[in-house]
Amino acid sequence: MNPSSPVSEPIVVARSIVDVTRAEEIAYWMATLGVSEMDLRRAVAASGEAAGDVRDYLGVK
């Protein structure tokens, strides 16, 4: 690699909102939190969309 060429760094997106309206977001949160879609939707309905609140509701850190 040429030292003067720009290095492409991976983009990390911090997800602070649990969006249950988009299939790809639902899949991400199911995998991240280790829950079913139904459990994810229940957690969002009970605690709101803030990722920290959803994690707390589910007991996941």
pLDDT in tens, 14-50: 789 999 999 999 999 999 999 999 999 999 999 999 9
pTM of the entire predicted model: 0.77
Vertex 38: Cα angle to 34 and 41 (nearest 5):
90
Per the DSSP assignment, residues forming a β-bridge with 17 are 50
Q: Are 14 and 40 in contact (CB under 8 A)?
A: no
Write the CB contacts of 19 (distance below 8 Å, at least 6 apart in sequence). 25, 26, 49
Q: Which candidate, 23, 24, 1, 5, places its Cα nearest to that of 13?
A: 24
Q: Which of 12, 42, 47 is nearest to 26 (CA)?
A: 42
- pLDDT at position 57 is 97
